[in-house]
Structure 1
């Protein structure tokens, strides 16, 4: 009996390692119920820029307009020429005389460059400042005849060289000119009849170009799409296009249409037939550093030449002349026409001189425009997530591409998702999953062909069978 128990014990010792080894090392596949996925969300916050922190500002009267010199040392004058030089100084010339003055402090003080330039005294002419700091002066009215001469100065108007006594364009006044990005000069429109005469005005709608500082001129077009006129306002836009607006047409009525050219004046497209501001001539117009356009004052004729209205209003366009906003109907300076206005590098406007028909002026004013009317700022395509969950009302400052402060609002948004897995209660479907044993052995760790464990398992099984058969006998 004792021998039988000993034999049974040996068999069990041989069999148990087989079970232990299989449990410890061999991964098994079990059938578990399909999990039920319960989504849970975590709220985070993304920051989205909004167009404005406050409503779009309503334009306020320009200014304040500040009178920086009530009585400049140059004589009262109208229809003269003024320039902002590359160094930021101001040069004025002519206006019934042939003197030249310069200011280095935006018109507060002045120095006379020359009392008597070699070109004849004139008004209703125009001039341009070239990129190299030289000045080109063209045409005008002497009080008895129109001119088509061209003069050039390299020293702020102290000395002059006549480039031509008779340019290819006909003698005229009341035209406009500008310098293109390549340094060429354009001369646009004008008239050759005294505006105060009883004869109908003969106005032009031609465009001329010079690439050699006014020595020679080539006609760009003899008949532009806009109607012939004197006193047109022209300006060069930041993209190199040209805008033309207003002036006095052959009918004697002030105009308020706006035209644009993208090919140096060869062809023109109508921007708007009616800008909204009263038709006028003798106005001044500037293109601001931000690309907006400002038109200032002038004289509005009401036909048939029996009523005139002097203006001191200021209008502004921020979309290339398509639409206009009246900044003020009555600026601090008195109504006038024939004045000169300049856009200064600091974004201010300097206005000088002019006439109210009865009297000429020699005052100097400086104006500041209200902030540009902001357009809606595009929402950023992707803003980095906040590292912590802020209050939804929290705002943080940002800057847009034009360095204008903008506000961003932290808006709640679903940014992460987690899943809670629970056993299915239906049990209708199941999927196999791999589980690990209690010793955390890696799945598929045990090689099925390991020799030692295989032999032990076989011997143990045979011994157990033989023992049981003998036991039952």
Structure 2
């Protein structure tokens, strides 16, 4: 099977750019939590799951509205359009259920998932899921996506990044835009994580969705189970686990991972397994684990200064939960973020 290729992008009618929403910490607006269900969502192993939002084809309407997709530690994945009703679907037969993979949605139609840990083995395989495909025909129509594919690893001149678990994966598309705005490059970044039970801290990037991959010369503080995101033209790493402790470090890169700068120490204490979401013009960090769950939220407008936010409901804050950002329209910043926590708890954070 050939490697997947970047999906076709919908043609978007030109329109005047709407004003960027006010930052959450400006005092003009405030985010609010809504507990969608305390126990009715998918029940997953907290260390295992990854949650993203992407366009998923609807055969009834023949459109591809945004949906939530959660991949847990078992042989199935879940999808939902409202956070309340979830559909469980088997993973491919050759997919190995795992703990600690990293994932990111790219191009609004595709999920990429890499690595993890299973039965004493550190994995280094890359999987893609295409939820929908836009066809630039006279009708500009949506079609079913290609589903799951395993990216070929038989490329000695272009190997995948070293296998690891608890790594960060970040896509370089700015939220709400149909075109990449990441300087001179775009695609995916995989960095940090645990390899052979140590934290290498290295950074890999690709200017496509699945390769070719390049190892960058710079690296942030070496950790696993950190939170990573491309946001406001920077690549960030928040917190993480190092050896027998957790850290409250913030690192960022302005040059696609080639070099890194450590930001001033944030006011939140050290933690790993943090959930991170883009909301309006700000970034929200939710929960995380020290050696006790951290049921709290912090907000930043620049990744450097922080303000406490409203307390997450239910079990959303337990070990950070999972998060998937929902884009409102192609020319707007995200107005809503979804979180899935322990015991089937689902909540949304909105402006």
**Is 2:82 aligned against 1:137?**
no
Q: Report what 1:153 is aligned to.
A: 80
Larger of the two Rg values belongs to structure: 1
CA 1:170–1:110: 2 relative to 1, 3 Å: same
CA 1:225–1:368: 2 relative to 1, 3 Å: same
CA 1:216–1:370: 2 relative to 1, 3 Å: closer
**Is 2:151 aligned against 1:220?**
yes
**Is 2:225 aligned against 1:282?**
yes
**Is 2:287 aligned against 1:353?**
yes
SS in 1 for 2:112: strand
Q: 1:316 aligns with which of 248, 252, 265?
A: 252
Q: Report what 1:246 is aligned to.
A: 192
SS in 2 for 1:178: strand
Alignment of 1:5-404 (within 5 A): 105-106=30-31, 109-117=32-40, 119-123=42-46, 124-131=48-55, 132-140=65-73, 147-155=74-82, 157-164=83-90, 168-181=94-107, 183-193=109-119, 201-212=120-131, 216-222=147-153, 224-238=159-173, 239=180, 240-250=186-196, 252-272=197-217, 274-275=218-219, 277-288=220-231, 290-301=232-243, 308-328=244-264, 330-346=265-281, 348-357=282-291, 359-369=292-302
Deviation at 1:309, TM superposition (A): 3.0
Query: After superposition, what is the alpha-carbon deviation per residue over 1:224-251, rounded to whole angstroms, capped at 9, x for unaligned?
Result: 432110011111114441111000001x
**Greater RCO structure (CA 8 Å; 6+ sep):** 1
CA 1:294–1:111: 2 relative to 1, 3 Å: same
CA 1:187–1:207: 2 relative to 1, 3 Å: same
| Runs of 4+ with deviation above 6 angstroms | none
Q: Which runs of 5+ in 2 are unaligned?
A: 1-23, 56-64, 133-144, 174-179, 181-185, 305-351
Q: Which protein has the bigger helix share? A: 1
TM-score normalised over the length of structure 1: 0.48
Say whether the 8 Å CA contact 1:221–1:265 is kept in structure 2.
Answer: no
Q: Partners in 1 of 2:93 and 2:168 — Cα distance?
A: 22
Say whether the 8 Å CA contact 1:300–1:311 is kept in structure 2.
Answer: yes
Aligned Cα root-mean-square deviation (Å) = 2.6
CA 1:293–1:148: 2 relative to 1, 3 Å: same
Q: Partners in 2 of 1:366 and 1:177 — Cα distance?
A: 23
Deviation at 1:110, TM superposition (A): 2.0
Q: Partners in 1 of 2:123 and 2:227 — Cα distance?
A: 19
Deviation at 1:117, TM superposition (A): 3.0
Aligned length: 242
Say whether the 8 Å CA contact 1:210–1:218 is kept in structure 2.
Answer: yes
Say whether the 8 Å CA contact 1:283–1:296 is kept in structure 2.
Answer: yes
Deviation at 1:215, TM superposition (A): 8.4
Q: Partners in 2 of 1:163 and 1:105 — Cα distance?
A: 37
Q: Partners in 2 of 1:316 and 1:171 — Cα distance?
A: 32
Deviation at 1:168, TM superposition (A): 4.0
Between 111-120 and 129-138, the greater mean CA deviation after superposition: 111-120
CA 1:311–1:182: 2 relative to 1, 3 Å: closer
